[in-house]
Amino acid sequence: MRSEVLISKWGNSQGLRIPKSIIDALQINIGDKVRVFIENNRVVIEPVKKKKVYNIDELIADIPVDYVKREELLTKPMGREIW
């Protein structure tokens, strides 16, 4: 996917507007972080992966009902192990 855009002045900086088609292709939205770098004399823009926010209730709900605890979690430490 290619698009020609104009570099414009924004305050004391320069910027460019990214077309909606590229935004959609990258699956990013306003407020998302992107990584910008130069590679082989080209400007590359790539989305920064979003950190998943875990919810303890969802995690517990995913535990199978027939789950059996591992032995090392049921016994006291015998050496310098930590758990």
Give pLDDT tens digits for 34-53.
999 999 999 999 999 888 88
Report d(CA 48, CA 34) in Å as an integer: 5
Which tens digit of pLDDT belongs to each residue from 19-39? 999 999 999 999 999 999 999
Return the CATH class of domain 1-75. Answer: mainly beta
pTM, entire model:
0.53
The answer for residues whose C-beta is within 8 angstroms of residue 81's C-beta and 6 or more apart is: 72
Interacting residues of 9 by C-beta distance below 8 A, sequence separation 6+ = 15
